[in-house]
Amino acid sequence: MISSHLLRDVEECCGRYWCLKTVALRLLQSGRRAENQPKVIVLETKGDKETFSRAANKLGCECAFTTDRRMKLVLPDGVEIRDLYAIAAENNVQVRSLSYKRDSLEDIFLKAMEERTNGSV
């Protein structure tokens, strides 16, 4: 068990976390790093991104364009990366880069603090 404000270091070496409000020792958030996080993919593509986006929506993905060539997709359970490559091939879209995006432990902590402050938790 580690107690630290250096959340990047904690994130690198711990698989489970607890966010506590130390004044009252209240638990704000807990979980495993992979839990409670949607699978978010950032894609850079070349080709008809609108057609690709519609096909991804049919799979249940949420899509948002971040730039002319980049889009962010939230994958539902059961949709895999290979499914994205398959719809890209079907629609003559090249996938130039693909990366996972996830909230950092700091993001999770700040969201928990915000929810607690707003009375949601």
Least trusted range by pLDDT, from 6-10, 59-63, 71-75: 6-10
Q: Are 45 and 78 members of one domain? A: yes
Split into its structural domains, the chain has a count of 2
Residues 52 and 76 in one domain: yes
Tell me if 30 is assigned to some domain. Answer: yes
Residue 121 has pLDDT above 50, yes or no: no
Residue 2 inside a domain? The answer is: no
| Co-location of 14 and 62 in the same domain | no
CA–CA–CA angle 59, 104, 8 (5° rounding): 155
Q: Which of 42-56, 67-81, 95-109 has the lowest mean pLDDT?
A: 95-109
Host domain of residue 82 = 39-101
Question: At 97, which CATH number?
Answer: 3.30.70.1150
Average pLDDT along the chain: 77
